[in-house]
A and B are shown apart, each in its own frame.
Chain A
Amino acid sequence: MGMTMVEKIIAAHTEFDQVKAGQIVNAKVDMVLGNDVTTPVAIKEFNKIGVDKVYDKDRVAIVPDHFTPNKDIKSAEHAKMIRKFAKKYEITNYFEIGQMGIEHCLLPEKGLALPGEIIVGADSHTCTYGALGALATGVGSTDIAAAMASGYLWFRVPETIKFVYKGELKPWVSGKDLILHTIGDIGVDGALYKAMEFTGEVIEQLSMDGRMTMSNMAIEAGGKCGLIASDDKTEAYLKDRASREYTAYYSDEDANYERVIEYDVSKIEPQIAFPHLPENTRSVSESSHVKIDQSVIGSCTNGRIEDLRIAAEVFKGNKVHSDVRCIIFPGTQEIYKQAVQEGLVEIFIDAGVAFSTPTCGPCLGGHMGILAKGEKAIATTNRNFVGRMGHPESEVYLSNPAVAAASAIKGYIAHPEEVL
């Protein structure tokens, strides 16, 4: 019996030649990631282990991105704590404000997430790097403390569900719509504990940015990871970025999949996930002109350059509706710079958009765009749970960047074609 991609990656990080779904193994990790919310808890646990160094200072990444630039004194104390830790243990990949970005946009950009690697991060959207053919998965703070000390972590080898996307994408339909449609189909626990493998001609045609958006939301279906086999596009993306040698792994023809699910994407419209679960999806034309107070474009899901270009295409020559606040936040400083150079920021500012430094703030209701009681937002972020962006009685609708931009202009959830 052949092995799936995820089984091969895990086997390559253990003493076993073969592993199979269900087996629990101790595996070597290639990269350990923490942020300003989860690293403070990890530091407390790390100190209990009693080691005097991290297992490899080049393989730990610490990114202060959630409550930064710091929103209050408590957050500043957390940021200070992780800054001191990074200095003490000579962490190579600590990224200070001014060089940082949203962790899941930043690590791929810096070539720190590579095909065939095992990457663990104390952030649930670590699964983003599955788009590069890595087994990347979110874990907790205690897990990363253990991994920082030992370089190893326990894993249950997951079963794999294979998703095959066929057909031709309609205009304005993106990776975000494919993953929202998928979550709408299988549900928020439809891939619980499983690896999701995204395949098919449509995935091959998707840009790296679009692939990362899809892998990013594997966790919203309960998935352990969302893998896409690396190809020429992956190689081209990594050519001047990869920080280490790597080996790509591919599922065998006779690999054992738990299920295979096929989609004809020709039938898929831009998707909206209604409150309060990412599985509550319907097409934008069925979204009955829901009036919005805020539009948020960015985050680890849709804060990459392609997303900003799409938003700019919609905003060009248009204005944000007078009843709406629109906030755009790029994923990294590099993306920020590119947006300036390409003239996208000028388009946003002329349209009346607030253009922000990279931060996770608005996505999780941290800062920089909190909703009041009863307010509604459309957002390109990844979750629309109760209270996600502010007051427990506010509502978040998830969409792609084109729909979020069009909605900001119209004042209600709108198809980009209504604007252009």
Chain B
Amino acid sequence: MKLKGKVFKYGDNVDTDVIIPARYLNSSDPKELAKYCMKDIDENFATEVEDGDIIIGGRNFGSGSSREHAPISIKAAGVSCVIAESFARIFYRNSINIGLPILISKEAVENIDAASKIEVDLDSGQIKDLDNDKTYQAEPFPEFMQEIIKAGGLIEKVKKEVNKNA
């Protein structure tokens, strides 16, 4: 699958408190959460983001809380993919589990500028900067995680397993 969009770029240690501040966690409605996505790091994000756009972060993206509201709000805001140098552990799990594509590529993080138009091929892990035609390769996911992604998320996978055992 190919994703195409404009880049929103942030630095290292983008934490879940700035992705979705705790004061909005009294809701679990994705559309409501999307309104406040990235609010404490980028006041204009929610109004400027368009369907398909891509977030690029640095090291340790999604650090902090276990709140799944963070990847949920990013996905509900229309973001098609997050690229970072590394992801915090729980954010990584949550994204895989809910089917938000995330890619690890130090090169892409270092070389792609904010507001660039890029194309991501999820199957091959290729990230193409459409502004200068340069291509970067993301790390492949372990097979087990590919299975979760193929199943459509963890719940779909568990559903099959639970019903098989029933």
Residues of chain A having any CB pair with chain B under 8 Å: 24, 37-38, 40-41, 44-45, 48-51, 66-67, 71-72, 74-75, 78, 121-124, 126, 138-143, 145-146, 149-150, 154, 156, 188-189, 192-193, 219, 222, 224, 277, 364-366, 383, 385-388, 392
Contact = CB atoms under 8 A, between A and B. Distances in A.
B25 interface: yes
Contacts of A71: 26
Interface stretch (B58-66, B75-83, B127-135): B58-66
Contacts of A142: 68, 94, 97-98, 153-155
Interface string B149-166: 000011100110111000
A341 B48 CA distance: 56
A366 B98 CA distance: 25
Contact of B158 (A123, A150, A366): A150
B13 A49 contact: no
B15 interface: yes
A385 B158 contact: no
B60 A222 contact: yes
Given A140-B93, A146-B154, A222 B63 contact: yes
Interface stretch (B1-9, B16-24, B49-57, B111-119): B16-24
Interface of B: 13, 15, 17-18, 21-23, 25-28, 40-41, 59-60, 63-69, 72, 86, 88-90, 93-94, 97-98, 142, 144-145, 148, 153-155, 158-159, 161-163
A140 B18 contact: no
B28 A78 contact: yes
B17 A386 contact: yes
Contacts of A24: 142, 144-145
Contact of A49 (B27, B144, B162): B162
Given A72-B26, A146-B154, A139 B162 contact: no
A386 B90 contact: no
Contacts of B148: 154
A45 B64 CA distance: 22
Contacts of B159: 48-50
20 contacts: A41-B72, A49-B155, A49-B158, A49-B159, A50-B159, A78-B28, A123-B65, A124-B64, A124-B66, A140-B93, A140-B97, A142-B155, A150-B158, A150-B161, A154-B148, A188-B63, A189-B60, A365-B17, A365-B23, A386-B15
Contact of B40 (A44, A74, A366, A387): A387
A51 B162 contact: yes
Nearest to A363: B22
Nearest to B72: A41
A44 B161 CA distance: 19
Contact of B22 (A38, A41, A154, A365): A365
B86 A364 contact: no
A146 B151 CA distance: 14
B97 A74 contact: no
A149 B158 contact: yes
A304 B70 CA distance: 30
A27 to B, nearest CB: 13
Contacts of B69: 37, 41
Contacts of A44: 28
Contact of A392 (B40, B144, B145): B40
A211 B162 CA distance: 38
A75 B26 contact: yes
Given A78-B28, A142-B94, A387-B17, A188 B23 contact: no
Contacts of A219: 64, 90
A366 B17 CA distance: 11
B68 A141 contact: yes
B14 to A, nearest CB: 10
Contacts of B18: 385-387
A48 B151 CA distance: 14
A28 B65 CA distance: 24
A111 B89 CA distance: 27
Contacts of B25: 37, 66-67, 366
B68 A189 contact: no
Contacts of B161: 150
Contacts of A386: 15, 17-18, 40-41
B26 A78 contact: yes
A222 B89 CA distance: 7
Contact of A189 (B26, B63, B67, B90): B63
